[in-house]
Amino acid sequence: MKVYKFGGASVKDAAGVRNVLKVLQQTGEKQTLVVVSAMGKSTNAFEEVLNLYFKDKQHTQKLEEIKAFHTEIAQDLLDQNNPVFATIDEYFFQIEDFLLKNKSPNYDYVYDQIISYGELLSSQILSAYLNQENLTNDWIDVRDYIKTDSSYREAKVDWETTCDNLQKLKKDQLYITQGFIGSNENYFTTTLGREGSDYSGAIIAYCLDAYSLTIWKDVPGVLNADPRYFENASQLMHISYEEAIELAYYGASVIHPKTLQPLQRKKIPLFVKSFEHPELQGTEIKNGQALDPYIPCFIVKKNQTALTISTHDFAFIDESVLRDVFDTLTENQLKVNLIQISAISLSLCLEDKFNTLDKAIEVIKKRFKVTLYQDCSLYTIRHADQNSLSFIPNTDKTIIKQAGVNTLQLVIKQDE
């Protein structure tokens, strides 16, 4: 069996959904499980609903806009009497009913219960359209299969239970399901981390011993740089799991960081291909395949925060200092993307995904001196050569620079 993952850009409108049908017809739909993300920017739109809800502001209008967006796509694709329209109405009733009755102040819990509807809606519309076009498929609720703990927004997979569940699927059918979501033992919805649909594909591929996982993107494959920030980006045709994990870890947006590990354990190849040109080769990631060729790869992460910590009495940065600082960062779910230690200072590049940075700094300042640089970018160059730095803007504003054998990293203050 093979696993396909289609991201939000591939199903952002009716034309995108029609294109998924063409991709499946061209590549073969038999023995295939399709994982689909929320349509377009639906996840962002649902996040706006939550922000309004938690600020006690009117969220109904935004919900109506999201419903209209999905209904219009369905109307463009489907016969008027298709049962998916009733499903759309039911989903939005469930959302309103949950928000009306909810008593929990836990943002992460509420987030997962609401955000998950983006994937439920997109998969229902795609499944209905494919069935209408005689591409017979079964829609399945991935929450019945992927089981996790209760770490809302960053749930950890119960691999044994998940694999037991998925292995009950028939291998000769076409299935449509959701990325990004699962459920805990009480069947509350959980999510696997932002942009986690790639990871969903990898989980399913691992549990099914899939022939391959293909991620369909709006780029021809994995590029050596993000074309939004760098000119003349080149496609990498072949990459090893190890190199791909490094690139994903440092922030290469084309691959979710968690995706590679389950695939590597079972040596399942990953293909990154263009949904606009499915006939092209794309990029193949597999066991033992060297980066081809060894050219510099540029990765940029925006909206980072640089933090320099030192002791008040010029004491050394020792293990006890590191323990105290990292305990605080862990408690506040702050992601550390770079660490640099000198005798009397600790420099960090942080990602504040859960808006807890101010709370953490308040605790750290009780013991240490803190210098904060906000609105930074983290540039990572794998296999840098003598000309690599010339492609990085504003190097004169570098706050942290760290060079390893294969990796050069710079934290640079963004232009005001």
- 110: CATH: 3.40.1160.10
Residue 195 sits in the same domain as residue 318: no
Strands 189-191 and 212-217: unpaired
* Residue 6 counted as an annotated binding residue: yes
* Residue 288 counted as an annotated binding residue: no
Residue 36 sits in the same domain as residue 137: yes
Residue 43 sits in the same domain as residue 189: yes
Secondary structure (DSSP) of 129-198: HHHHTT---EE--GGGT-BB-S-TTSPPB-HHHHHHHHTTS-TTSEEEEESSEEE-TT--EEE-STTTHH
Residue 162 sits in the same domain as residue 40: yes
Strands 222-223 and 235-236: antiparallel
Query: The CATH number of the domain where 324 resides is what?
Result: 3.30.2130.10
* Residue 8 counted as an annotated binding residue: yes
Answer whether the bond into residue 257 is a cis peptide, omega within 30°.
no
- Per-residue pLDDT of the chain (416 residues), as tens digits, is 999 999 999 999 999 999 999 999 999 888 999 999 999 999 999 999 999 999 999 999 999 999 999 999 999 999 999 999 999 999 999 999 999 999 999 999 999 999 999 999 999 999 999 999 999 999 999 999 999 999 999 999 999 999 999 999 998 999 999 999 999 999 999 999 877 899 999 999 999 999 999 999 988 999 899 888 888 888 989 898 888 888 888 877 777 778 999 999 999 999 999 999 999 999 999 987 555 557 899 999 999 999 999 988 888 999 999 999 999 999 999 999 999 999 999 999 999 988 999 999 999 999 999 999 999 999 999 999 888 999 999 999 999 999 988 899 999 998 76
Question: Of 197, 323, 348, nearest to 259 (Cα)?
Answer: 197
Within a domain: residue 256? no
* Residue 43 counted as an annotated binding residue: yes
Predicted local confidence at residue 290, as pLDDT: 57
Predicted local confidence at residue 153, as pLDDT: 95
* Residue 242 counted as an annotated binding residue: no
Within a domain: residue 236? no
Tell me how many domains the chain contains.
2
* Residue 41 counted as an annotated binding residue: no
Domain boundary pick from 217, 243, 259: 217
Predicted local confidence at residue 254, as pLDDT: 73
Predicted local confidence at residue 416, as pLDDT: 61
Residue 306 sits in the same domain as residue 204: no
Domain boundary pick from 166, 192, 217: 217
Q: At what angle do helices 60-77 and 84-101 cross, to 10 degrees?
A: 170
Residue 35 sits in the same domain as residue 170: yes
Within a domain: residue 356? yes
Domain that holds residue 59: 2-217
Question: Quick check: helix, strand or coil at residue 377?
Answer: strand
Residue 31 sits in the same domain as residue 150: yes
Residue 203 sits in the same domain as residue 307: no
Within a domain: residue 271? no
Q: pTM of the entire structure?
A: 0.85
Residue 301 sits in the same domain as residue 211: no
Predicted local confidence at residue 249, as pLDDT: 81
Domain boundary pick from 194, 217, 240: 217
Within a domain: residue 66? yes
Residue 211 sits in the same domain as residue 310: no
> What span, in angstroms and rounded, lies between the C-alpha atoms of 49 and 66?
10
Residue 77 sits in the same domain as residue 189: yes
